[in-house]
Structure 1
Amino acid sequence: MTMIQALNSALDNMMERDPNVLTFGEDVGYFGGVFKVTEHLQKKYGAKRCFDAPINENGIAGVAIGMAAYGLRPVIEIQFADYMYPAYDQLVSEAARLRYRSAGDFTAPLTVRMPYGGGIRGGQTHSQSPEALFTHVAGLKTVIPSTPYDAKGLLISCIEEDDPVIFMEPKRIYNGPFDGFHDRQVSPWSKHAASEVPEGYYKIPLGKANIVREGEAVTVLAYGTMVHVALAAAEEAGIDAEVIDLRTLVPVDNETIEASISKTGRCVIVHEATRTSGYGAELSAMIQERCFYKLEAPIQRVTGYDTPYPHSLEWEYFPTPPRIIKAMRRVMEA
């Protein structure tokens, strides 16, 4: 399956298993979503469980929070992560605080799906990576998959959570891993877009990172599309790098990170979002607190630039294998 197909399968599995699961958002129903993640679900489960919403993200989130407090398990789609700002107040002020404010009488088993990041030349209003805005909010979990297999298993876990989860989907790899993605002259979509994903129900626990490449020289932390970029960099440079796919940003798997850095003594953090106050800064602080005496060199961050997202220059904006290789060599030479 591609990631799109895997996400569709996750929703299908959960809607079949649990009548309280429903999904809605802009173009989610009859059309099946702009990226076709919800395709055929309205036909199979009816317009009361898969339906379209007005162009009103604040309203979509507010209605979903009410549904969740009532006992349903809504999965809403914010069509692009860039559109989530009108809904931000509902998610921060209501969903994230509901359990605490009600002393546990109410919860918000709500999953918020949103495609994020660049790769489709969508420009400033369709390409942002705002994950740090959610990881800062107590009461929200934040999840970002990097493979179709993980996407399905993680989404099922999110839907079964009793608290709100932000589920961010890297649309640059919606249709498969990249083939020559670090070369602007090569089509970014892989010729081998499918990967093995079971059709049935399975879960991947939240808060557990995945070591996708073992190594001894340097630890590289990444998530989403950047996992594939980091792997390409390690292979291209021939560096014995250990690449860790975080998968869940909150809660983050501190134990796996700490164990890896205790082994390598070096760390490079990669994310597509802008550098200042990005999630890499939180990772860096945590590593300094937990692993200071294990470090052999300063932590390096390879990120997007502190600029508005460029339209025509998005491939210059992305972290690339050459930039990651430079950072890995810098920490290894220190």
Structure 2
Amino acid sequence: MTARNMIQAINHGLQCAMEQDDRIVIAGEDVGYFGGVFRATHGLQQQFGKTRVFDTPISENGIIGTAIGMAAYGLKPVVEIQFADYIYPGYDQIVSEAARMRYRTAGEWTMPLVIRSPYGGGIYGGQTHSQSPESLFTHVSGLRTVIPSNPYDAKGLLLAAIEDPDPVVFFEPKRIYNGPFDGHHDKPVAPWSKHPASEVPDDYYTVPLGKAAIVRPGEAVTVLAYGTMVHVALAALEENDIDGELIDLRTLLPLDIETIEESVKKTGRCLVVHEATRTSGFGAELSALVQERCFYHLEAPVVRVAGWDTPYPHAYEWIYFPGPIRMRTALKKVLEA
């Protein structure tokens, strides 16, 4: 076991995978000599060479399109889109080619492709470096969408994603890249400050895709979260002394609906929190599923806490985020209904 933050855990996961399977290649903008803008691929080109870890032109559709060809011909590419905000030029390749390959070939071809990308706010990046587009990918059949909330899961989920024969979009919450932050405050915490790291195994291990984690058991309300919002939700429950059950979804698609259903039927109440905009966000799907499956067990309507329905507000980033004040209001609403 070694203390690692999320960046270090991802880096070590890539190293473990590449040591075991020489079909794995890494490509993307600045992932080679420089080691990635967040240093997630630091040292990998020096260890595995320029034919397995290499820089690409600034062309997201080219990066993803080339990776699709690699995967179709037997390689296992792990490509990095430098920020999730940059993924849109490659969206057609992801949806029209990668996601449909297994179906359009009647299962003859698979698509072992992982698309990594830092996502979400918290680094003062403004509108073009801070978006949370996960719901655009959970709508697409044939894709898997993964968002870890801690270093242990980040490494294990990444290795599971690399093993998977289908394409995986792997979003990494950059606000917690360097470790847990103080979720008890609405004001910013320096995103590059050093935080206590988590213990991560040194060996190769996987965390199964499609299996949620119960971070905190409870009886009063079920709170569904993923990524950075797991830490915000945990802080809110602890600060307000609420006996809530916090579920870290980890994988949005496939979704562990069984764990959600079991929890909501026990608590009778449900709160969903995510950083992305509210309208058509993934929380809407979660709310609908809970209503469909748990209606006769609910003691109150499902409540959502999310980002604003606006372009990402650079100057008001920390008001945009769901934080302790909004979480406290939402918890009161669902508990008192």
TM-score range, shorter chain: over 0.9
SS at match of 1:196: strand
SS at match of 1:124: coil
Q: 1:1-334 to 2 correspondence within 5 Å?
A: 1-179=4-182, 182-184=185-187, 186-188=189-191, 192-334=195-337
Stretches (4+) displaced over 4 A = 188-191
Instruction: Output the CA distance in 2 between the equivalents of 1:133 and 1:192.
Output: 32
Label 1:7 to 1:184 Cα distance change in 2 as closer, same or farther (>3 A): same
Instruction: Output the CA distance in 2 between the equivalents of 1:141 and 1:120.
Output: 26
Please say if residues 77 and 114 of structure 1, whose CA atoms lie closer than 8 Å, have aligned partners that are also in contact: yes
Percent identical pairs in the alignment equals: 71
Instruction: Output the CA distance in 2 between the equivalents of 1:185 and 1:13.
Output: 34
Label 1:114 to 1:185 Cα distance change in 2 as closer, same or farther (>3 A): closer
Deviations 1:214-261 (A, max 9, x none): 110000000000000000000010111110000000000000000000
Amino acid at match of 1:329: K
Kindly state the Cα deviation for residue 188 of structure 1 after the two structures are TM-superposed. Answer: 4.9
Kindly state the Cα deviation for residue 324 of structure 1 after the two structures are TM-superposed. Answer: 1.2
Unpaired segments ≥5 residues, structure 2: none
Label 1:297 to 1:180 Cα distance change in 2 as closer, same or farther (>3 A): closer
Amino acid at match of 1:302: V
Label 1:105 to 1:308 Cα distance change in 2 as closer, same or farther (>3 A): same
Deviations 1:105-129 (A, max 9, x none): 1111000000000000000000000
Please say if residues 179 and 191 of structure 1, whose CA atoms lie closer than 8 Å, have aligned partners that are also in contact: no
Kindly state the Cα deviation for residue 193 of structure 1 after the two structures are TM-superposed. Answer: 2.9
CA RMSD of aligned residues (A): 1.0
Label 1:106 to 1:186 Cα distance change in 2 as closer, same or farther (>3 A): closer
Instruction: Output the CA distance in 1 between the equivalents of 2:271 and 2:35.
Output: 39
- TM-score with structure 2 setting the length: 0.97
Kindly state the Cα deviation for residue 286 of structure 1 after the two structures are TM-superposed. Answer: 0.6
Instruction: Output the CA distance in 2 between the equivalents of 1:222 and 1:268.
Output: 9
Please say if residues 179 and 190 of structure 1, whose CA atoms lie closer than 8 Å, have aligned partners that are also in contact: no
Instruction: Output the CA distance in 1 between the equivalents of 2:231 and 2:148.
Output: 11
Amino acid at match of 1:251: P
SS at match of 1:212: strand
Instruction: Output the CA distance in 1 between the equivalents of 2:188 and 2:257.
Output: 38
- TM-score with structure 1 setting the length: 0.98
